[in-house]
């Protein structure tokens, strides 16, 4: 299966002189540690009024734009041009925008008062009216979106945690619910696996082994991981029930199925190979890993630790006990209650009959 790649989860729009070494540095680090792929321009390019093609591409390839409006944000024509592009895409529903008002009042931004008004007085002397109006409209549209204001938080770390968590949850919206969501502590497992995968890396192909007992739970975890990270890849493929597949078909058929789903060479690929029980199953696919592009990931799930060692897979996530939430226990409890209620009902009816309270007439 092939998918249109969104290269970044988040595009950060900010004024460097205000926040680069403080809030943005801290915020970017938190996003990176949460494996949220983030574009942060590391250059303060203020020459000229037009933003670079690189920045335009980065905005277009992002799912979210986090706009950090600080004291001097509106003084920068560069930032304002960036904002116009972001808000145009937001209007077309091609990007979601999250404003952060850092050290400024949102109403000052919306109505261009205070320092914002002073900045625009200078802009009006330097730029044509149409351009200034486009900047004002973009600011008004931004300020109409519910966002975060630093004045409402006692410290930046709590605000950063809240925003990062919100982005993480929004990235999950729209994905089909899988049985993996019923696994005990699935969020903890997902967080640990994402940390091992390091989705921000552009290194050569990395292989992660997932070892756990219980094929159903292991497969559910693998599918859950696949569903939640596949959007980061140009091509992705989930090969399920390898044990069963290899019994039914020759290995060459397996490779043909795999190559049919992974389209083209040097693409960023996610491949999940589930329930592997023989080294030959990996050997049938391994030669093609060299055709994967940078940042590609292969995930192997098995209940055989020795197989991972034999395949020289060093990156392993081990789960000693993996189980579904107590649905069965709940089901048994409900069934038990129903049986008890049934017995009590019959006993009551029989007792009522003996006592002359049943609906039947006495003979």
For the question of residue 162 being annotated catalytic, the response is no
Catalytic residue among 46, 82, 92, 185: 82
Residues 6+ apart with CB under 8 A from 271: 236, 237, 239, 258, 262, 285, 292, 296, 297, 298, 299
Check residue 20 and report its DSSP letter. T
Phi/psi of residue 357, nearest 5 degrees: -110, 5
E-strand spans in 36-108?
38-39, 62-69, 96-101
Measured CA to CA, the distance from residue 112 to residue 309 in angstroms comes to: 63
Q: Provide the Cα torsion 218, 222, 228, 233; round to 10°.
A: 170
Tokens of 356: 């002359």
Sheet holding 297-302, edge to edge: 235-239, 269-273, 297-302, 206-212, 315-319
Active site residues: 82
């Amino acid at each position: 299966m092939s998918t249109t790649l969104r290269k970044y989860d988040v595009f950060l729009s900010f004024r460097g002189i205000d926040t680069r070494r403080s809030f943005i540095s801290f915020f970017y680090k938190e996003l990176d540690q949460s494996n949220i792929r983030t574009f942060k321009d590391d250059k303060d390019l203020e020459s000229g009024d037009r933003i670079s093609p690189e920045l335009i591409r980065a905005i277009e390839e992002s799912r979210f734009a986090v706009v950090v409006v600080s004291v001097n944000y509106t003084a920068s024509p560069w930032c304002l041009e960036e904002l116009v592009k972001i808000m145009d895409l937001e209007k077309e529903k091609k990007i979601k925008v999250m404003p952060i008002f850092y050290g400024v009042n949102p109403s000052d931004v919306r109505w261009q008062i205070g320092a914002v008004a002073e900045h625009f007085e200078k802009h009006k002397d330097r730029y044509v009216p149409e351009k200034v109006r486009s900047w004002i409209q973009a600011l008004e549209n931004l300020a109409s979106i519910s966002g975060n204001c630093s004045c409402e938080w006692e410290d930046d770390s709590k605000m950063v945690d809240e925003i990062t968590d919100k982005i993480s949850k929004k990235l999950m919206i729209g994905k089909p619910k899988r049985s993996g969501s019923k696994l005990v502590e699935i969020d903890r497992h997902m967080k640990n696996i994402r940390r091992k995968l390091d989705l921000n890396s552009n290194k050569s192909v990395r292989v992660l082994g997932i070892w756990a007992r219980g094929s159903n739970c292991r497969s559910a975890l693998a599918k859950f991981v696949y569903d939640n990270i596949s959007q980061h890849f140009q091509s992705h493929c989930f090969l399920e029930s390898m044990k069963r597949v290899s019994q039914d078909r020759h290995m060459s058929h397996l490779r043909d199925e795999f190559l049919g789903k992974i389209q083209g060479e040097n693409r960023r690929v996610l491949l999940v190979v589930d329930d592997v029980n023989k080294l030959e199953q990996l050997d049938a696919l391994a030669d093609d890993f060299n055709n994967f592009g940078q940042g590609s990931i292969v995930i192997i799930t098995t209940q055989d630790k020795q197989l991972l060692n034999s395949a020289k897979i060093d990156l392993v996530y081990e789960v000693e006990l993996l189980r579904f939430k107590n649905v069965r226990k709940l089901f048994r409890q409900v069934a038990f209650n129903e049986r008890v209620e049934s017995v009590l009902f019959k006993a009551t009816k029989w007792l009522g009959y003996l006592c002359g309270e049943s609906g039947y007439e006495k003979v």
